[in-house]
Amino acid sequence: MSDSSGVDLPSLLAVVCAAVLAGGICLWMKRDDEREADTFRARGVHTTGMVVGHEVRSVVTDAESNWRHDRWSPVVEFTDREGNAVTFVSTLLTHPTDAVPVNSRVAVVYPPEDPKKAEMADALGNPSAGRLDRSGQFVSSSGGYRGLFFGLFVFLSVLCVILVSLLL
């Protein structure tokens, strides 16, 4: 069904609904990440660490061509409350030109029961931070909200257009 301008109103409504749904899901996920970061900050022990190096991670940016980009993650060393030296690789991912310089002092937060699960305070809830599996390998970025929105928007648009055309 089109109006006098040739616009298919039900399909337009379906696409608008898809955009609202995709935006709502992304907003919910972003707030959930921020809430998790706030909880980690509130319960964690705060200290200062020093960037002692960088770990290069090859991140797939185009699954179809398997095109990879190198991203750098700071390697941070700090001393926990017990006086033990702890070294960890932050989940913060940057381009080599934007990397936190070696010998920089950074804010660190760690769970009191497991200092090895430390993180740079700036990486908590940061869209450029990622998630690591138990072996320390990069799994996914928690901050790909624009990409997630676009993917959800396309999927939900198709789904909503199909539903609207079936109902009408």
Assigned CATH for 45-141: 2.40.50
Please tell me whether residue 80 adopts helix, strand or coil conformation. coil
DSSP assigned state of 2: B
Number of neighbours of residue 55 by Cβ within 10 angstroms: 13
Torsion of CA 39, 41, 43, 45, to 10 degrees: 170
> What is the pLDDT, as a whole number, of residue 61?
57
Least confident range from 65-69, 114-118, 140-144: namely 140-144
Least confident range from 36-50, 130-144, 151-165: namely 130-144
Confidence of residue 6 (pLDDT cuts 50, 70, 90): low
Query: What's this model's pTM, rounded to 2 decimal places?
Result: 0.59
Question: Given a cut of 90, is residue 84 above it in pLDDT?
Answer: yes
Amino acid letter, 79: T
- If you search the block for the tokens 């020093």, which residue do you land on? 50
DSSP assigned state of 136: S
**21 vs 61 pLDDT, higher one:** 21
The DSSP H or E segment spanning 41 is helix 9-43
Integer Cα distance of 69 and 102 in angstroms: 21
* C-alpha radius of gyration, the chain, whole number: 21
> What is the pLDDT, as a whole number, of residue 75?
94
> What is the pLDDT, as a whole number, of residue 128?
52
